[in-house]
């Protein structure tokens, strides 16, 4: 690990000023991802700005939104009454992530900004465009069992890694905004525009500008509290990243689906919102046949490598399973 | 928790004698010895799989803060036990254990090429990241299937007619072609790593007068002592190996590995105590692994289910510089009564580091294949897999034509089947579902050879009536000290709390390393005879004090006292006996080893596993939901610790079946699963309640305590049982481990 300087701001203003003054600095929250990245030499900031003393832990309800501070712990969010009552899909997704110990340290902001789990990214001896732009993508033509099957249609991907977060899959299915503080004040970004699908600059995972700090997320109230399911398919029962994950949320009435949300994890450079499916589901009575039809619809645009072709079937199947559970049909 | 019989009868099992110090953190592990003046070594490892080192650029590393030395093959002090490197340098010929910092050649990816010694570990790590190495790269071969044509009879076997790894045929080698019902299939086990939670670590102290003390993670202090003495040309007694606590090893600590030698080299060179701890990623290329193995099995039977022929061929991976041989195909010669059996074993050398023994070495690999094949043939016969095995039960050892010393496998099958409710199994796959999950049952048999090595133990009674028993054995997790205490307490008629068992130090009486499930059979016997001897001496002294205890009478020991008979209520305490004779202590030291019985009987542990799985029909996720394991290992010394051994074995088997896979990117010859995020082992949520049963009948022919080995048999066969259950649930036969969702989708 490269020696670094450690700073501890008390206010958001102080934090963003420090970041502006130290271009090579990184914020550290729970450290569950950043410390690993530093230990393996993937990132070597000369300055760490410890944001744990900023007042960003609060979870509250304002108007029609649940606002969750960037430093709220994954475990606290998952069991907070406001979240379990109003955003149960989010709670479900959080509990599917990592382990109890890690969720006790991991923050919402850090979860949004966690790096991919591509194993080539983690090994500095191997080429990787995300870690070292221009060096090549080892996963392309390598062991790409966990890699993406959906891409930005307008470019040849320079990185085929997937975003690893479970929480972000649920947030993608819901209507979420990210609240950001920067040297020039506060701004918000819709969640769907927060992460990058494009890998033109593979080293960048999000549209956060250098030195900007996430201060909160805000999740809109919705009518999905009854019919939702977060399904995570993984290599073991717990403590593994998703091979494929599905966040499914339905608003149902009179035996019909009135509103549907489907987001996928483990399939693209960012959580994948399944817009077409949502339209196809609307106004229809739930059935396995319908779910199968819509699930397979978008799979036509999927592209697999040598080791991840299974993901095409698996994603469709997982979607059927998640929608069935959400709809309450067996 | 629910009480089970008979694995957990309300017996008087001892809890782990070192449980308290372990869970409270008071136990000192290798990396935790706070030796004054300690400095830290970190290895820099190769990033290519074959070639040679052209040059180092050490400028940045040398000037990094805290750096005391950088050791490479260019400046390392020669290890005196090694021959001087050839000039010009030559690649080590096959059969040479890897020598660290010896020549410029790269034999495998992850090979140590340089070592930083610095005042703190963090500074050493930082400096290590600054070392630049240029290589002359050569094409490497690491891909097993692409090179399988190069598999050959191991040189070791070519040189030795009597090698057990020779090709074997009994009966008619062509019998398979004539069998009525036949199956033939290929099974693959990928490379799997031991990955104990405690990484390998050593603190090496080189003192004035060329005395070496190492606090090291290993599985045999005596063999480590011998190997280090040899390498550094020191008198054996100048080397002490101290390893009382080991955080798991599973075979990774049987050999003395290059990092151990490297740490000693550093300590000798910088004249400071050196600590070296392997990083998790270094654990993949430093301490061996279960080798990638491909097996082909041909099985034939009559329509009545009588086995007629087995052909079992296995090819295992090894390194270019060293052969590692395993029993992969050997169990097949022994386990079933079959007149025509052929086995062949080959090795495929690749540009990788040498594999090593990993729990149930060879047998766990071979039994996965054989027990899968048995299930395939049972299905082809439309016969219950258990009935099929019973039909081919070997009443004596068909390989050596000897009677078993004892075999209660039939009882294991019966007990296991009853507890598991095997009778509910459906012959046809996909016949049962529960809560939307496909449910399947599978079973497998298990065997493991009996190993007993000469062992010594010393028992000392002290003036306060306490006893210390010593032997240079190890505890890599099974609870050796607890079991030995139990044996001593039984012989001496004492409360276990007054007995202290010492192990894990090379100055103690000779004992074998902890491997091959040999500790209880070997060291347990030595402790038994040493305590018997101590008891004899004690009774003799008591006899001098009181007629009742004279030789030939029925004197007994109980509660730390000598009594004239079982009914006698008036005892003489051990302490009083010593006091009367003005003795501070009374000592007995004995050795125990096998005799002629080895040639009269065939000795094995036996067992079986029954497994229920649930498979998600849409996602292909497999969860083991129930396991019943049953073993016949002779007498059980201490049920509680035995039971956790069996549970641990099953957990290992579940990992082997469902997740463990060290995957290499062959373009680089480098593992891509080099941390716990990539190398999956079971977590709690993967493990159901595991029921453990023992037959618990002493095998009177094997040793004075009637106990055989348990550690390995606990894992052998488990992967097969899981794969068979997956077939029963889904109708899919997965022959390449691990059984991950992508294979079932
Ligand atoms: C073994 C393991 C298993 C895991 N399994 C899962 C899993 O199954 N599913 C899953 O979703 N996640 C999983 N995770 C990831 C875990 O959720 C993330 O590590 C965690 O959420 C990161 O939060 P943190 O507070 O520790 O972030 P840190 O490690 O402190 O920071 C991560 C990154 O975010 C930046 N950052 C942090 N906070 C802010 C902020 N407020 N504004 C701007 N930048 C910020 C940091 O600069 C850094 O770059 C796992 C992690 C581990 C170690
Ligand atoms: S997929 Fe992305 S992260 Fe992985 S090697 Fe390629 S560029 Fe790097």
Catalytic-labelled residue, pool B323, B326, B691, B712: B712
| Same domain, residue pair B405 and B382 | yes
Residue B183 in any domain: the answer is yes
In a domain, B13, yes or no: no
Give the span between the Cα atoms of A87 and A107, in whole angstroms: 17
In this structure, the answer to whether residues B587 and B603 fall within a common structural domain is no
B639-685 pLDDT tens trace: 999 999 999 999 999 999 999 999 999 999 999 999 999 999 999 99
CB atoms within 10 A of CB A109: 25
Tell me what the pLDDT averaged over chain B comes to.
96
Phi and psi dihedrals of A30, rounded to 5?
Answer: -70, -25
Asked which of B593, B618, B649 is the last residue of a domain, the reply is: B593
Q: How confident is the model at residue B4 (pLDDT cuts 50, 70, 90)?
A: very low
Same structural domain for residues B499 and B409?
no
- CATH code of the domain containing B325: 3.30.365.10
Task: For residue A38, give the CATH number of its domain.
Answer: 3.30.43.10
Q: Examine residue A158 and state whether it is found in any structural domain, yes or no.
A: no
Q: What is the pLDDT of residues A44-78, one digit of tens each?
A: 999 999 999 999 999 999 999 999 999 999 999 99
Are both B545 and B640 inside the same structural domain?
Answer: no
Ligand having the closest approach to the CA of A15: 1
| CB-based contact, A237 to chain B, within 8 Å | yes
pLDDT score at B11: 63
In a domain, A257, yes or no: yes
Which H/E stretch holds residue B483?
Answer: helix B480-492
* One domain, residues B108 and B55: yes
Nearest CA in chain B to A235: B740
Looking at the structure, tell me whether residues B528 and B569 fall in a common domain: yes
Round to whole Å and give the CA distance between A55 and A72.
10
Q: Which of A11, A36, A113 to mutate to test the pocket of ligand 1 (most atoms within 8 A of CB)?
A: A113
Q: Does B618 touch chain A (CB under 8 A)?
A: yes
Asked whether residue B716 is assigned to any structural domain, the reply reads yes
Round to whole Å and give the CA distance between A196 and A200.
9
Query: Mind telling me how many Å the CA of A299 is from chain B's nearest CA?
Result: 15
Span B389-414, mean pLDDT?
98
Domain stop point among A52, A69, A86: A52
| Predicted local confidence at residue B257, as pLDDT | 98
Q: Is the pLDDT of residue B409 over 90?
A: yes
Same domain, residue pair B471 and B518 = yes
For residue A22, tell me if it sits in a domain. yes
Q: Which of B668, B685, B745 sits opposite A317 (nearest CB)?
A: B745
What is the nearest CA distance from B282 to chain A, expressed in angstroms?
12
Are residues B538 and B418 part of one domain? Answer: no
Q: Look at residue A241 and tell me if it is in a domain.
A: yes
Give me the pLDDT at residue B552, please: 78
- Whether residue B28 lies inside any domain: the answer is no
B557 shares its domain with B656: no
Residue of A nearest to B620 (CA): A314
Interface predicted TM-score (ipTM): 0.96
Structural domain range at position A267: 227-327
Say yes or no: B63 contacts chain A, CB-CB below 8 A. Answer: no
Please report the pLDDT score of residue B5 as a whole number: 41
Instruction: Say if residue B420 is in the same domain as residue B457.
Output: no
Q: Kindly state if the Cβ of A151 falls inside 6 Å of ligand 2.
A: no
Centre of ligand 1 from the C-alpha of residue A74, in Å: 10
3 state SS for B693-714: EECCCCCCCCCCCCECCCCCCC
Segment B267-290 shows an average pLDDT of: 98
Q: Structure tokens of B657?
A: 């079946």
How far apart CA B658 and CA B663 sit, in angstroms, is 14
Cα-to-centroid distance, A172 and ligand 2 (Å): 23
Alpha-carbon separation of residue B559 from A12, B497, B533, B538, B566 (angstroms): 71, 11, 18, 14, 12
Active site annotation includes B62:
no
B34 within domain boundaries: no
**β-bridge partners, B634:** B707
Residue A160 has pLDDT above 80, yes or no: yes
- Joined together, the tokens standing for residue A89 give 């899909």
**Is the pTM of the predicted complex or chain greater than 0.95?**
yes
- Whether residues B505 and B558 share a domain: the answer is yes
DSSP state of B424: G
Ligand 2 and A305: CB distance under 6 A: no
Q: Mapping DSSP to helix (H, G, I), strand (E, B) and coil, where does residue B528 land?
A: helix
Instruction: Render B626-660 in DSSP notation, one character per residue.
Output: EEEEEEE-BS-S-HHHHHHHHHHHHHHHHHHHHT-
DSSP state of B421: T
- What tens digit of pLDDT does each residue of B362-394 get? 999 999 999 999 999 999 999 999 999 999 999
Chain B residues closer than 8 Å to A138 by CB: 665, 667-668
> Domains in chain A: how many in total?
2
Nearest-CA residue for atom 8 of ligand 2: A128
For residue A38, being part of any structural domain is answered with yes
Residue A295 falls inside a structural domain: yes
The total number of structural domains that make up chain B: 3
Residue B17 located in a structural domain: no
CB of A27 shorter than 6 A to ligand 1: yes
Establish whether the linkage from the previous residue to B680 is cis, with ω within 30° of 0: no
Does residue A95 sit within a domain?
A: no
In a domain, A79, yes or no: no
Would you place residue B10 in the very low, low, confident or very high pLDDT band (cuts 50, 70, 90)? very low
B2 within some domain: no
For residue B483, the enclosing domain spans 453-593
Q: What CATH number does the domain containing A253 carry? A: 3.30.390.50
- Cβ–ligand 1 contact at A70 (below 6 Å): yes
Contact at CB, A143 and B47, closer than 8 angstroms: no
**Cβ separation of B683 and A236 shorter than 8 Å?**
yes
B59 with B170, same domain: the answer is no
Counting every residue, how long is chain A?
Answer: 330
> Does ligand 1 have an atom closer than 6 angstroms to the CB of A29?
yes
């Amino acid at each position: 690990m490269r020696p670094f300087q450690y700073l501890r701001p008390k206010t958001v203003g102080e934090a963003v000023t420090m970041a502006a003054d130290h271009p090579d600095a990184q914020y550290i929250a729970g450290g569950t991802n950043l410390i690993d990245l530093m230990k393996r030499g993937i990132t070597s900031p000369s300055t760490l700005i410890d944001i744990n003393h900023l007042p960003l832990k609060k979870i509250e309800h304002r108007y029609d939104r649940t606002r969750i501070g960037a430093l709220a712990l994954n475990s606290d969010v998952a069991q907070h009454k406001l979240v379990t009552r109003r955003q149960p899909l989010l709670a479900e997704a959080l509990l599917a992530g990592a382990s109890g110990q890690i969720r006790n340290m991991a923050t919402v902001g850090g979860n949004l900004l966690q790096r991919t789990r591509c194993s080539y990214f983690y090994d500095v001896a191997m080429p990787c465009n995300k870690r070292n732009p221009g060096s090549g993508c080892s996963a392309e033509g390598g062991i790409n069992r966990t890699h993406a099957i959906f891409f930005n249609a307008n470019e040849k991907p320079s990185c085929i890694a997937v975003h690893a977060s479970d929480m972000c899959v649920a947030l993608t299915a819901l209507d979420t905004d990210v609240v950001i503080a920067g040297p020039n004040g506060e701004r918000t970004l819709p969640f769907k525009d927060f992460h990058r699908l494009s890998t033109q600059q593979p080293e960048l995972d999000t549209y956060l500008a250098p030195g900007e700090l996430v201060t909160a997320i805000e999740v809109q109230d919705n009518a999905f509290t009854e019919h939702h399911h977060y399904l995570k398919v993984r290599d073991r029962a717990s403590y593994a990243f998703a091979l494929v994950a599905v966040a499914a949320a339905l608003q149902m009435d009179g035996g019909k689906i009135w509103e549907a949300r489907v987001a996928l994890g483990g399939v693209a450079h960012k959580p994948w919102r399944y817009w077409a499916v949502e339209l196809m589901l609307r106004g229809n009575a739930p059935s396995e046949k319908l779910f199968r039809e819509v699930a397979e619809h978008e799979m036509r645009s999927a592209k697999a490598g040598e080791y991840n072709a299974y993901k095409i079937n698996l994603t469709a199947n997982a979607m059927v399973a998640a929608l069935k559970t959400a709809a309450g049909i067996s | 928790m629910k009480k089970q019989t008979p694995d957990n009868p309300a017996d008087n099992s001892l809890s782990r004698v070192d449980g308290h110090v372990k869970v409270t953190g008071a136990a000192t592990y290798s990396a935790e010895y706070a030796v004054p003046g300690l400095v830290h070594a970190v290895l820099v490892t190769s990033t290519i799989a074959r070639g040679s080192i052209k040059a180092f650029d050490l400028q940045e590393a040398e000037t990094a803060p805290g750096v005391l030395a950088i050791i490479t093959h260019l400046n390392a002090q020669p290890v005196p036990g090694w021959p001087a490197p050839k000039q010009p340098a030559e690649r080590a010929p096959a059969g040479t254990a890897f020598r660290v910092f010896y020549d410029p050649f790269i034999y495998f990816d992850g090979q140590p090429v340089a070592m930083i010694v610095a005042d703190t570990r963090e500074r050493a790590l930082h400096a290590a990241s600054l070392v630049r190495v240029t290589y002359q790269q050569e094409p490497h071969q690491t891909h097993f299937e692409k090179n399988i044509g190069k598999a050959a009879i191991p040189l070791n076997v070519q040189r030795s007619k009597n090698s057990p790894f020779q090709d074997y045929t009994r009966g008619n080698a062509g019998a398979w072609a004539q069998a009525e019902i036949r199956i033939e299939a290929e099974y693959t086990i990928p490379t799997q790593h031991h990955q104990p939670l405690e990484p390998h670590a050593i603190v090496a102290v080189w003192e004035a007068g060329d005395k070496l003390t190492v606090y090291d993670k290993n599985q045999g202090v005596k063999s480590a002592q011998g190997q280090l003495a040899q390498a550094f040309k020191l008198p054996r007694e100048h080397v002490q190996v101290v390893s009382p606590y080991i955080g798991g090893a599973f075979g990774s600590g049987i050999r003395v590995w290059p990092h151990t030698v490297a740490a000693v080299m550093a300590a000798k060179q910088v004249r400071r105590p050196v600590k070296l701890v392997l990083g998790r990623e270094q654990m993949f290329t430093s301490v061996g692994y279960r080798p990638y193995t491909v097996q082909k099995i041909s099985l034939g039977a009559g329509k009545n289910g009588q086995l007629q022929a087995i052909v079992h061929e296995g090819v295992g991976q090894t390194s270019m510089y060293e052969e590692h041989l395993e029993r992969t195909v050997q169990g097949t010669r022994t386990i079933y009564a079959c007149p025509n059996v052929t086995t062949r074993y080959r090795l495929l050398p690749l540009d990788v580091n040498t594999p090593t023994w990993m729990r149930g070495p060879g047998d766990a690999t071979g039994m996965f294949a054989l027990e899968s094949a048995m299930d395939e043939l049972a299905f082809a016969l439309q016969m219950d897999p258990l009935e099929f095995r019973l039909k081919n039960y070997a009443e004596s050892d068909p390989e050596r034509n000897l009677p078993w010393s004892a075999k209660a496998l039939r009882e294991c099958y019966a007990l296991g089947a009853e507890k598991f409710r095997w009778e509910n199994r459906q012959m046809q796959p996909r016949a049962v579902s529960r809560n939307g999950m496909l449910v399947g049952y599978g079973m497998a048999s298990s065997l493991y050879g009996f190993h007993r090595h000469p062992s010594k133990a010393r028992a000392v009674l002290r003036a306060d009536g306490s006893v210390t028993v010593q032997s240079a054995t190890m505890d890599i997790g099974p609870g050796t000290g607890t079991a030995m205490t139990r044996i001593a307490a039984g012989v001496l008629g004492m409360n276990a709390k007054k007995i202290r068992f010492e192990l894990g130090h090379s100055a103690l009486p000779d004992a074998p390393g902890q491997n091959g499930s040999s500790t209880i059979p070997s060291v347990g016997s030595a402790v038994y005879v040493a305590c018997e001897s101590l008891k004899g001496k004690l009774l003799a002294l008591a006899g001098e004090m009181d007629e009742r205890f004279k030789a030939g009478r029925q004197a007994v020991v109980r509660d730390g006292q000598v009594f004239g008979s079982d009914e006698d209520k008036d005892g003489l305490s051990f302490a009083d006996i010593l006091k009367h004779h003005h003795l501070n202590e009374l000592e007995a030291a004995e050795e125990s080893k096998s005799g002629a019985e080895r040639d009269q009987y065939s000795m094995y542990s036996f067992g079986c596993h029954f497994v229920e799985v649930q498979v998600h029909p849409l996602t292909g996720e497999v969860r083991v939901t129930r396991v019943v394991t049953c073993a016949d290992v002779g007498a059980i010394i201490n049920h509680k610790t035995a039971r956790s051994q069996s549970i641990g074995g099953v957990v290992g088997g579940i990992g082997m079946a469902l997740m463990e896979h060290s995957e290499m990117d062959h373009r680089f010859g480098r593992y891509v699963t080099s941390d716990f995020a990539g190398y999956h082992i079971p977590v709690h949520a993967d493990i159901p309640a595991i029921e453990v049963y023992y037959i618990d009948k002493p095998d009177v022919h094997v040793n004075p305590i009637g106990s055989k080995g348990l550690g390995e048999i606990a894992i052998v066969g488990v992967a097969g049982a899981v794969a068979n259950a997956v077939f029963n649930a889904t109708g899919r036969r997965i022959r390449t481990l691990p059984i991950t969702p992508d294979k079932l989708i």
